[in-house]
Amino acid sequence: MAESEYVQSLRARVAGLPPLQKVMLELDSVLTEHDPIEIVRQYHHYPVNLEHWIKRDGFQFVWYLSDGGYSRVAWSEENKQLFLTDNSIRKPKANWDKALPQRRAVEAELLKQWKALGSEPQQEAQQLADQILAE
């Protein structure tokens, strides 16, 4: 049976995701065991890139998985590693070790984008805040 135009459009959306969203989607798929085509319908909460994420959410590097909003993945800018939040449900916790390649891919993409921003973005934000407070 041929795929509907809607499913084809979802597949095209998955194929056209920017690098950070693509690796986040792949991690989400392994952790939740959901098909990427199902996840891409709600991927809107994935940041386009790290700079967008910082501008949108500040330095709150946390995003929800596609398991109904219970599980969240966070990135520590200090140690540059991902972790699951404690309130995440069993399935993502059980799949965490299995998702090591996908976790490393997300971490590598985040680190690449972090370095591309030039200096430490958090330090720049702190300096700006200090300047404003000193005025």
Range of the domain at 40: 5-134
Query: pLDDT value at position 127?
Result: 63
Give the pLDDT confidence of 44-54 residue by residue, as tens digits. 678 889 988 88
Give the pLDDT confidence of 74-88 residue by residue, as tens digits. 999 888 899 999 999
**Cβ atoms within 10 Å of 82's Cβ, excluding its own:** 19
What average pLDDT does the segment 101-105 reach?
98
Rounded Cα–Cα distance for residues 41 and 117 (Å): 29
Assign 121 a pLDDT band (cuts: 50, 70, 90): low
pLDDT, greater one: 119 or 67: 67
CA angle 38, 44, 45 (to 5 degrees): 110
Domain count, the chain: 1
Rounded Cα–Cα distance for residues 120 and 131 (Å): 17
Rounded Cα–Cα distance for residues 61 and 72 (Å): 10
